[in-house]
Amino acid sequence: MSEGKKFYIPRNFETRFELFKGVGLKEVGVMIPILYITTVMDIYAPFSLAFKIIASSFMIVLPGAMLVIPAKRNNLKLYQYIVWRFKYLKRDKTYIYKKEGMKK
């Protein structure tokens, strides 16, 4: 009996479902509440039109860029890299060193 064919999938190949190139269901699920919040802010907030446009732009573009732009490491988005970096900086670090004898 044969076990079937074995396929090689490269490391830089994403195996998830994407709506657009680099934009999956998780990213769309994050952007929908952000779009809702900006729409509510634009309609009901008592700010000037210029402030609403600038604030809406930042609220839409920054999270969208963090979700789509790839980071330095393979298969990580920028927000995943930032979360990983904060966890790395918060954890305790151990430094291994050898104690050498003192010369008299």
Structure tokens at 12: 């830089």
Determine if the pTM surpasses 0.75.
no
Sequence spans of domains, the chain: 18-90
Q: Round to whole Å and give the CA distance between 84 and 75.
A: 13
pLDDT at 1 over 60: no
Structure tokens at 75: 């298969």
- pLDDT single digits (tens) 56-104: 888 888 887 777 777 666 667 777 888 888 998 898 878 777 777 766 5
- pLDDT single digits (tens) 27-55: 788 888 888 888 888 888 888 889 888 88
